[in-house]
Chains A and B, each alone.
Chain A
Amino acid sequence: MLFYKLFKDKDGRKVGFVQANEACIEAALLAGMRFFAGYPITPSSEMASVSSEKLPMYGGKFIQMEDEIAAMTAVCGASMAGLKAMTATSGPGFSLKQEAIGYAAMNEIPCVIVNVQRAGPSTGLPTQVSQGDVMQARWGTHGDHPIIVLSPSTVVETADLTFDAFNLAEKYRTPVILLMDETLAHMREKITLPAENELKLVERKRATVPPSDYRSFDTRFGDVPPFEPYGGKYHFHITGLTHDEMGFPIVEPDDVVKAMDRIHRKINNNLDDIVKVKQFQTDDAEILLVSFGTPVRTCLGAMEIGRKEGLKIGVLQLQTIWPFPDKAVLNLAKKIGKIFVVELNMGQIINEVQRASQGKSNIKGINKYDGLFISPEEILGHIIESKG
């Protein structure tokens, strides 16, 4: 049962007044997502519902698994069988999925994981907003691992970053996490989805060598190994054990370092392609608000009101939060003496802002973790208070 309707405009673009949860799945379908495994959890459940209704219409597969772990694991299996695959969850479910996310990172399995953040720890406030999973998104699974995390602030941006998430997953053979939050998930805004001929979609690179020469993690063609799905002439092995190019276990220290370095290098050498930020009125700003996700909207409101009152506020929005946008933060920290980091948690991304800004700016946190959304007045209050 869908609670929204899309209409086609004169250019063939689908238009609708939808929640971000719905926009995410509509965009994912356009991006070529053909497998969704899920488990019911507030506040992401609409994604599973929409997928269950729409995927069979698109030749895709939806499955409700017996638990969160199974959903993430099935996504890994389906992606290895060649489908663009995703799952969606929230805090407790995101915790459960972590081991399988590590498996996807280790075996370079393209997939998208949506985490609609709600307040924690534990069951927390299931229906209320938070951004408490910033560090979990980066370090939730054990061991050093590469990961890409994107965080949208509007319904339109949810669709845009969903396209990016699938493209990055395919291009770099990596799990990508879309970090949303409860406020955004259930907010309705107008979206216009791109027509099919306007989409710029990336598909995973396929093998060009004959089957006898295929390697599961071939490094001869760059840091991202060509992919072949299960079912065909290419027979290969994958394992969560630290492995060589053939996918077989290794323990030789030099080989381990080589394998670890490569899976990190494929991300770290492409930061200009992966890391996205947006700047608002930073040219003449004397105060910088750094934020990500839904609170960016509040920052823009505070900027608008503050400027009318003579406060030269600018906003830096981190659309990509991992890898962290070091360069953008440092450049602005050099220019702007005061930085406020706005986040709906007790202070997580602020540590990264402090690290990246190398002491060039005075940094304070504006934190809210009472389950409610933040208002422009609250942000302005903190700014004025700190002026003394």
Chain B
Amino acid sequence: MENIIHDYLRPKKSFPHVWCPGCGDGIVLNAMVRAIHSLGKSKDEVVFVSGIGCSSRAPAYTDFSSLHGIHGRALPFATGIKLANPKLTVVVFSGDGDALAIGGNHFIHACRRNIDITVVVIDNNIYGMTGGQASPTMPTGAYGATAPYGNLDRPFDVCKLAAAAGANYVARATAFQFFQLEKCIKEGIEKKGFSVIEAVTPCPSLYSFFNNTGRGVDMLKKLRDRAVTTQKAATLSPAELEDKIVTGVFANENFREYCAGYAELVEKAERSKKNEESL
């Protein structure tokens, strides 16, 4: 595997990054950079957008133009950029809290709108940056800084949510399955329309602190053991699926993309303008 990451890191940004040892965020960033590289995209045409949280720090490290926004709002920032200049390739990094709690409304509407943006939801089941609070994907019964007696809430299934809301492309991979993750991100970027890739990652600092899940390597091994493909999942009983992470592609549609729809609308508007100019 050719190491291309250094060609994409910001020359003037001082490292080290903010991520803890064993964090999955760097793995997902590497997969995304490789996906963009393999598509032959110029840095000039890519804009990398994020909200707030551990994973949302990623755009600062790469040499794409980037926007580190406000909590939960990465998708509307990205929507403004993409609609203003549809030629751009707009990619978004968002955590499970950022994308699905404070940004949940934007998430489902971006799916519904089906605008050509690719969002990678880096799902570590916890709020890392703020100290380990329960997130919308934390399993019921797991522990966190705001779930000292075990989490009462049920977790979202990110992929079912995105597919039901109308995204053209929806896929899931774990941080252990690097090449599958890279492939999903690549397919997501290539797909015209809204693409959601859920990247399930370990948080060996805070998730592990509250739930005793070991160090980064231990958590990656666990992800490997829990992952099953959609094909395999179809043969398993609900009981057998309980602790599994189903990976693969959950939606691959070709609904009309928003900017393309807008271009069609412009043609109608231009006919009205002729009437206006004839005043």
Contacts and interface: CB of A to CB of B under 8 A. Distances in A.
Interface of A: 5-8, 34-35, 37, 53, 56-57, 59, 61, 63, 65-67, 69-71, 73-83, 85, 99-100, 103, 229-241, 246, 248-249
B81 A230 contact: yes
Given A61-B84, A77-B78, A78-B81, A238 B272 contact: no
Given A66-B105, A83-B84, A100-B73, A238 B79 contact: no
B6 interface: no
B279 A8 contact: yes
Interface residues of B, number: 46
A77 B70 contact: no
Contact of A238 (B67, B87, B269): B67
Contact of A231 (B44, B262, B276): B44
A237 B76 CA distance: 17
Contacts of B80: 35, 37, 63, 73-81, 85
Contacts of B269: 53, 56-57
Contact of B84 (A6, A53, A78): A78
Interface in B12-26: 12-14
B109 A231 contact: no
Given A63-B83, A77-B49, 10 more contacts: A8-B279, A57-B276, A78-B83, A78-B84, A82-B85, A231-B44, A235-B65, A239-B60, A246-B13, A248-B60
B88 interface: yes
Contacts of A66: 76, 105-106, 109
B139 interface: no
A240 B50 CA distance: 11
B94 to A, nearest CB: 13
Contacts of B63: 235
Contacts of B262: 56, 61
A232 B272 contact: no
B53 to A, nearest CB: 13
A129 B109 CA distance: 33
B156 interface: no
A231 B85 contact: yes
A352 B273 CA distance: 46
Contacts of B66: 236-238
A240 B70 contact: yes
A103 B81 contact: no
B12 A246 contact: yes
B44 to A, nearest CB: 6
A69 B80 CA distance: 12
Interface in B61-98: 63-70, 73, 75-85, 87-88
Given A74-B83, A239-B68, A230 B76 contact: no
B252 to A, nearest CB: 25
Contacts of A61: 83-84, 262
- Give the residue among B78, B80, B85 with the most A Cβ atoms within 10 A: B80
Interface of B: 10, 12-14, 43-45, 47, 49, 59-60, 63-70, 73, 75-85, 87-88, 105-106, 109, 262, 265-266, 268-270, 272-273, 276, 279
B65 A77 contact: no
A80 B83 contact: no
A232 B67 contact: no
Contacts of A69: 73, 76
A164 B3 CA distance: 52
A74 B79 contact: yes
A232 B63 CA distance: 12
Nearest to A238: B67
A246 B66 CA distance: 12
- Give the residue among A57, A67, A78, A234 with the most B Cβ atoms within 10 A: A57
A57 B270 contact: yes
Contacts of B14: 248
- Give the residue among B12, B85, B262, B266 with the most A Cβ atoms within 10 A: B85
B120 to A, nearest CB: 18
A230 B65 CA distance: 6
A77 B79 contact: yes
A267 B87 CA distance: 34
Given A57-B270, A77-B67, A237 B44 contact: no
Nearest to A77: B80
Contacts of A37: 76, 80
Contact of B77 (A67, A73, A82): A73
B76 A240 contact: no
Given A81-B81, A85-B80, A231-B44, A73 B88 contact: no
Contacts of B12: 246
Nearest to A243: B68
A37 B59 CA distance: 25
B106 A240 contact: no
A56 B13 CA distance: 40
B121 to A, nearest CB: 18
A75 B12 CA distance: 29
Contact of B279 (A7, A81, A240): A7
A76 to B, nearest CB: 6
B64 A235 contact: yes
Contacts of B64: 235
Contacts of A67: 105
Contacts of B43: 235
